[in-house]
């Protein structure tokens, strides 16, 4: 089978649902909660996984998968090393985009907004809730920097584990959380003939306005 035939063979129609204005919540956070809950019920693998797009001062976009750890009407929180590539880019340009995709439901949610660091109290509380291995991993990692080998990484982890013994692992000052504060949401529901439903929520003052976008 040729490469072109492979791509033709994986083409599918979307017909699992619809997203209409009369059934959509007036508040985008409520609509997000509804769809997120549906992804949980559907058994989606890591439903809190999302793509995070950032751009630094060089204007070169960068994207990677992160895990959403909490959200409310103030924003969407994820955690990382502040000195990583994403951390450096956010420091230069706090505007980001998140993209959630649940293929079994034929749904996407795109969220545009501005990142801000969470408080030290929030970061400490979340860090303390992590498995000890993840705490050690965060403490030892020079995220996004060049490593000479896998062995160097494993040795650094083992040494920190030995030094720590049974004492609690302290959250590194360079590790913490970001809250993406939304200015725009787009909810996408796959439809037949590629005539997908796209509802955009844009914030104007304290009011969220809903527009339907052409697919």
Q: What is the pLDDT of residue 77?
A: 98
Give the pLDDT score at 84. 97
Is 125 within the bounds of a domain?
Answer: no
Mean pLDDT over each residue of the chain, to the nearest integer: 96
| pLDDT of residue 1 exceeding 90 | no
What pLDDT was estimated at residue 140? Answer: 94
**Which residues, 6 or more positions from 77, have their beta carbon under 8 angstroms from its beta carbon?**
68, 69, 70, 71, 118, 122, 177, 178, 179, 180
| Cα gap 71→75, rounded to integer Å | 6
**Mean local confidence (pLDDT), 141-158:** 95
Whether 139 is covered by a domain: the verdict is no
Domain of 40, in residue numbers: 3-120+180-212
Question: What are the DSSP calls for 56-74, one per residue?
Answer: -TT--EEEEEEE--EEETT
Average pLDDT over residues 187-193: 97
The domain total for the chain is 1
142: pLDDT strictly greater than 90: yes
- The answer on pLDDT for 4 being more than 90 is no
- DSSP state at residue 16: S
Res. 2 pLDDT band, cuts 50 70 90: confident
> What pLDDT shows up at residue 139?
94
pLDDT at 101: 98
Q: CA 38, CA 105: separation in Å to the nearest integer? A: 8
CB atoms within 10 A of CB 75: 19
Residue 167 lies in a domain: no
* 97 vs 185: CA distance, rounded Å: 10
Question: What CA–CA distance (Å, rounded) separates 136 from 204?
Answer: 43
175 pLDDT above the threshold of 80: yes
How far apart CA 83 and CA 117 sit, in angstroms, is: 13
Query: Is this prediction's pTM over 0.85?
Result: yes
Query: Is the residue at 148 inside a domain?
Result: no
Tokens of 169: 């692992």
> Which residues are the active-site residues?
194
| CATH number reported for the structural domain that contains residue 34 in this entry | 2.30.110.10
Whether residue 126 lies inside any domain: the answer is: no
* Residue 170 resides in a domain: no
Q: Is residue 142 part of a domain?
A: no
């Amino acid at each position: 089978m040729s490469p072109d035939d492979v791509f033709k063979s994986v083409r599918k129609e979307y017909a699992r649902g619809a997203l209409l204005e009369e059934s959509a919540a007036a508040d985008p956070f409520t609509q997000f909660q509804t769809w997120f809950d549906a992804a949980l019920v559907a058994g989606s693998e890591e439903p809190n996984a999302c793509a995070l797009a950032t751009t630094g001062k060089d204007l070169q976009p960068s994207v990677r998968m992160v895990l959403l750890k909490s959200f409310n009407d103030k924003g969407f929180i994820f955690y990382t090393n502040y000195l990583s590539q994403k951390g450096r880019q956010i420091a230069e340009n706090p505007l980001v985009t998140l993209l959630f995709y649940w293929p079994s439901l034929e749904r996407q949610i795109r969220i545009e907004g501005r990142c801000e660091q969470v408080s030290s109290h929030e970061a400490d509380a979340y860090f303390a809730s992590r498995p000890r291995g993840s705490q050690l991993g965060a403490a030892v990692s020079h995220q996004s920097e060049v490593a000479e080998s896998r062995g160097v990484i494993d040795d650094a982890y083992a040494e920190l584990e030995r030094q720590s013994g049974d004492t609690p692992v302290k959250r590194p000052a360079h590790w913490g959380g970001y809250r993406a504060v939304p200015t725009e949401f787009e909810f996408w529901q796959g439809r037949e003939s590629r005539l997908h439903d796209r509802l955009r929520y844009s914030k104007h003052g304290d009011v969220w306005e809903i527009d339907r976008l052409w697919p």
